């Protein structure tokens, strides 16, 4: 939980900095929002909001739902970066790396404890993304980048399923729980 608290501080500090390529984030005080508030406008939100939502759900005990939102956020964040390759390295690229480590590490550690549910969560993120608009990065304007990022997550899901036995064994060897 200490890592998640660190992510909140990092995210809070970054969100106070003016947005470089997008509209003002003043309405996007993600850390102060409840999960329900975050979900109500998630489609139009900066991809960091998905990580905040996942973190709040995870720390609140709704872990399986958190895994889906984490992967939806990862997909949307990677898409945003692919669509805007000229973004500065110390902005959104650095934030994604930090959020992936601080929020993503405990979520992935939990998710890998049940490989089939983990793969299903990735599919849930893909399904949600396909069925919902992206008000932050246009799917139609950047269709190639969107499809590439979706393919990457689908490949990860397939690899997880194909390596299920090895993942379970490695977790046992590392003293981690398989659920």
pLDDT at 161 over 50: yes
Q: What is the pLDDT of residue 115?
A: 97
Q: What is the pLDDT of residue 29?
A: 85
Name which of 169, 179, 161 is nearest 64 in CA terms.
179
Instruction: Give residues with Cβ within 8 angstroms of 123, minimum separation 6.
Output: 157
How many distinct structural domains can be found in the chain?
Answer: 1
Q: What is the pLDDT of residue 150?
A: 98
Q: Residue 64 falls within a domain, yes or no? A: yes
pLDDT at 81 over 70: yes
Which residue did the predictor score with more confidence, 173 or 17? 173
Q: Residue 179 falls within a domain, yes or no? A: no
- 164-173 and 143-162 helices, crossing angle to 10°: 70
pLDDT at 91 over 60: yes
pLDDT at 21 over 80: no
- DSSP H helices in 41-142: 48-59, 63-83, 94-99, 105-111, 115-131
Q: Domain of residue 66: give its range.
A: 2-173
Q: What are phi and psi of 176, to 5 degrees?
A: -100, 150
**d(Cα 98, Cα 105) in Å, to the nearest integer?**
10
Q: What is the pLDDT of residue 59?
A: 96
Q: Residue 142 falls within a domain, yes or no? A: yes
Q: Residue 178 falls within a domain, yes or no? A: no
């Amino acid at each position: 939980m200490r890592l998640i608290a660190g992510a909140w501080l990092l995210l809070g500090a970054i969100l106070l900095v003016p947005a470089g390529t997008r509209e003002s984030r003043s309405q996007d005080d993600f850390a102060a929002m409840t999960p329900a508030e975050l979900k109500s406008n998630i489609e139009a939100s900066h991809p960091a909001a998905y990580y905040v939502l996942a973190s709040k759900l995870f720390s609140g005990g709704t872990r399986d739902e958190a895994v889906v939102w984490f992967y939806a956020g990862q997909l949307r964040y990677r898409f945003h970066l692919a669509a805007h390759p000229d973004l500065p390295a110390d902005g959104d690229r650095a934030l994604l790396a930090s959020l992936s480590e601080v929020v993503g590490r405990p979520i992935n550690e939990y998710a890998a404890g049940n490989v089939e549910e983990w793969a299903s969560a990735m599919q849930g993120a893909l399904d949600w993304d396909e069925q919902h608009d992206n008000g932050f990065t246009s799917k139609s304007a950047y269709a190639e980048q969107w499809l590439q990022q979706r393919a990457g997550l689908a490949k990860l899901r397939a690899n997880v399923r194909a390596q299920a036995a090895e993942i379970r064994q490695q977790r046992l060897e590392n003293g981690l729980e398989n659920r």
